[in-house]
């Protein structure tokens, strides 16, 4: 080595160190994070659910945004800025590893019922291109769910790199453009003197009180706002998290509310609540507007956009939660070796296949439950109930960590953490209780059958299965660090 080699190597080392530092701490603007959060939370799929209430949907969206969305965003931001590893590590550090597994399991397990509801919406949307009468056909809905889901498993198992791009493209053509079009058509429709199908007077601002059942639909809005804890991991990428993150979240909350509320109102203007389908409501509104304005040729184009957004979202969610569960299970040995195996592309295909088997059984229930809207609502409630277990654990863990580790470095400290956690806990607990009360639209059905289905789904998916894995856990299930990613497996 010559004397000139040393400074050259040192300069190169400094350059590499500078590059590594830049890569290790990517920066996001608060505006970018707000848009990222909006795109991951907002969707048109839930609009028909609240359109049933007409003008009162504003109240029913704003209340859970204040008591659930805001606490979730701020509390998860503090946790993400102080502890890596997501919800598992937050709960494991604040409570216990076993409860940490329960939390990450619920985050994964809720997708088992999420996919049938999402793809039930896809089936109804496709029906408006083929034959609108199929939208309420249970057998047709079940077939579409199974075909689209297993196609998604095949795509994900190949490790396709374009899934993220497809999801982003789907957001634009399947959420933003249709949402704006729906609202514009609704405004023009009313502007031409047509009466609204739902009352739009001051007396309709609050939902009519006909008992607890009249407010049951609000429980679905908690799931509409779910996922904020996933976006909180980006808080450390902000230049000034303490000031920028709250600003980002308030902007995101405003945008999400607009995307949720305005299309729901537009649907209520043209489709009477008695005729509204919870799965096909968006296409019902588009079809009514297109027929009125004599532009029915747009129906297939809008349907394709809505389907693209939903399928893109499914592909994004398909591998994400299951991958998080896999990583924790390989480190701690929570799942049996078969479910820990990866295919040649490094994808947890065995978990996806096992999940698909359950999803297929659930899809068949669409063919057995008389009303597709009824099946959609039941699965939505079970999804929410299971996910709420994770949020209950997260709020308790946050309070414990602030008490047990007050000096632990955090990039962001949530203001009034205690009251925020208590509000989030009470809201989540109330949502779970309300979820056991049948919606007013199920008045002619069996109340006890509804309660038993919800309770059975929550007990089985949210408690019995994860604790069964914990009880059966063996030391040999733990994978050594550095083990090759690709293994044999189905």
- Read off the pLDDT band of 8 (50, 70, 90): very low
Tell which residue, 110, 67, 71, 96, has the closest CA to residue 393.
Answer: 96
- Read off the pLDDT band of 423 (50, 70, 90): very high
Average pLDDT rounded to a whole number, residues 130-137: 83
* Per-residue pLDDT tens digits for 361-389: 888 877 777 666 667 677 778 888 888 99
Q: Which residues of 1-19 are buried (b: 16+ CB within 10 A; e: fewer)?
A: eeeeeeeeeeeeeeeeeee
| Higher-pLDDT residue of 271, 207 | 271
* Per-residue pLDDT tens digits for 224-240: 777 677 666 677 778 88
How many helices, marked H, and strands, marked E, lie in the chain? 21, 0
| Residue 137 backbone zone (phi > 0: left; psi -120 to 50: alpha; other: beta) | beta
Residue 15: per-residue pLDDT = 45
Q: Which helix (H) or strand (E) holds 313?
A: helix 299-332
- Read off the pLDDT band of 488 (50, 70, 90): very low
| Residue 347 backbone zone (phi > 0: left; psi -120 to 50: alpha; other: beta) | beta
CA-CA-CA-CA dihedral for 180, 186, 190, 194, to nearest 10: 160
- Domains located in the chain, CATH noted: 30-476 (1.20.1740.10)
- Read off the pLDDT band of 95 (50, 70, 90): very high
Q: Which helix (H) or strand (E) holds 299?
A: helix 299-332
Alpha-carbon gap, residue 273 to 277, rounded angstroms:
9
Tell which residue, 127, 125, 129, 180, has the closest CA to residue 308.
Answer: 125
Across 31-35, 139-143, 419-423, which has the greatest mean pLDDT? Answer: 419-423
Beta-strand ranges (E) seen in 391-439 are none
As given in the structure block, the two tokens for residue 26 are: 């990517």
Tokens 């660090």: give the residue: 481
Question: Mean pLDDT over all residues of the chain?
Answer: 79
Is residue 211 pLDDT above 80, yes or no? Answer: no
DSSP designation for 238: B
| Phi, psi angle pair for 26, to nearest 5° | -65, 145
Residue 51: per-residue pLDDT = 86
Is residue 413 pLDDT above 70, yes or no? Answer: yes
Alpha-carbon gap, residue 238 to 249, rounded angstroms:
13
Is residue 447 pLDDT above 70, yes or no? Answer: yes
Residue 266: per-residue pLDDT = 93
- Based on the number of CB atoms within 10 Å of its own CB, is 472 exposed (0-12), middle (13-18) or buried (19 or more)? exposed
Alpha-carbon gap, residue 302 to 271, rounded angstroms:
18
The SS3 assignment for 28 reads strand
| Higher-pLDDT residue of 256, 113 | 256
Tell which residue, 47, 35, 372, 34, has the closest CA to residue 178.
Answer: 47
DSSP percent split of the chain into helix, strand, coil, nearest 5: 75, 0, 20
The SS3 assignment for 14 reads helix
Q: Which residues of 86-113 are buried (b: 16+ CB within 10 A; e: fewer)?
A: bbbbbbbbbbebbbbbbbbbbbbbbbbb
Is residue 485 pLDDT above 50, yes or no? Answer: no
Residue 286: per-residue pLDDT = 92
| Phi, psi angle pair for 226, to nearest 5° | -70, 160
Beta-strand ranges (E) seen in 49-156 are none
- Read off the pLDDT band of 4 (50, 70, 90): very low
């Amino acid at each position: 080595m010559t004397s000139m080699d040393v400074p050259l190597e040192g300069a190169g080392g400094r350059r590499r160190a500078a590059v590594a530092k830049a890569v290790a701490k990517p920066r996001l603007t608060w505006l970018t994070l707000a848009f990222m959060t909006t795109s991951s939370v907002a969707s048109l799929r839930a609009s028909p659910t609240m359109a049933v209430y007409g003008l009162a949907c504003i109240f029913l969206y704003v209340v859970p945004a204040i008591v659930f969305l805001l606490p979730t965003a701020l509390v998860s931001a503090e946790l993400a800025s102080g502890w890596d590893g997501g919800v598992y590590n937050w709960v494991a550090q604040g409570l216990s590893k076993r409860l940490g597994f329960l939390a990450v399991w619920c985050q994964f397990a809720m997708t088992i019922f999420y996919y049938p509801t999402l793809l039930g919406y896809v089936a109804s949307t496709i029906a408006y291109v083929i034959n609108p009468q199929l939208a309420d056909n249970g057998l047709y809905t079940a077939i579409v769910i199974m075909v689209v889901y297993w196609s998604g498993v095949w795509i994900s198992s190949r490790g396709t790199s374009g899934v993220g791009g497809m999801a982003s493209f789907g957001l634009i053509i399947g959420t933003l453009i249709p949402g704006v079009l729906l609202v514009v058509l609704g405004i023009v429709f009313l502007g031409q003197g047509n009466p609204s199908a739902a009352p739009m007077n001051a007396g309709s601002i609050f939902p009519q009180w006909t008992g607890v059942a009249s407010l049951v639909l609000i429980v679905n809005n908690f799931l509409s706002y779910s996922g904020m804890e996933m976006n909180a991991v980006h808080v450390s990428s902000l230049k000034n998290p303490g000031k920028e993150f709250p600003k980002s979240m308030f902007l995101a909350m405003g945008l999400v509310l607009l995307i949720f509320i305005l299309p729901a109102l537009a649907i209520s203007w043209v489709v009477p609540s008695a005729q509204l389908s919870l799965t096909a409501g968006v296409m019902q509104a588009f079809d009514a507007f297109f027929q009125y304005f004599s532009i029915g040729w747009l129906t297939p184009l809008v349907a394709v956009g809505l389907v693209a957004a939903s399928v893109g979202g499914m592909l994004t969610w398909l591998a994400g939660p299951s991958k998080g569960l896999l990583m924790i299970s390989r480190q701690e040995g929570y799942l049996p070796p078969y479910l820990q195996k990866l295919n040649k592309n490094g994808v947890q295909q065995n978990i996806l296949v096992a999940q698909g088997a359950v999803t297929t059984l659930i899809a068949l229930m669409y063919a057995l439950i008389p009303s597709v809207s009824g099946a959609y609502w039941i699965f939505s409630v079970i999804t929410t109930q299971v996910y709420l277990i994770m949020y209950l654990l997260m709020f308790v863990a946050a309070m414990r960590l602030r008490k047990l580790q007050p000096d632990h470095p955090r990039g962001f400290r949530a203001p009034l953490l205690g009251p925020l956690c208590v509000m989030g806990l009470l809201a989540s607990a109330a949502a779970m209780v309300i979820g056991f009360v049948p919606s007013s639209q199920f008045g002619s059905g069996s109340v006890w059958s509804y309660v038993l289905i919800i309770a059975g789904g929550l007990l089985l998916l949210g408690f019995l299965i994860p604790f069964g894995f914990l009880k059966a856990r063996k030391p040999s299930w733990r994978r050594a660090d550095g083990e090759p990613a690709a293994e044999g497996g189905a």
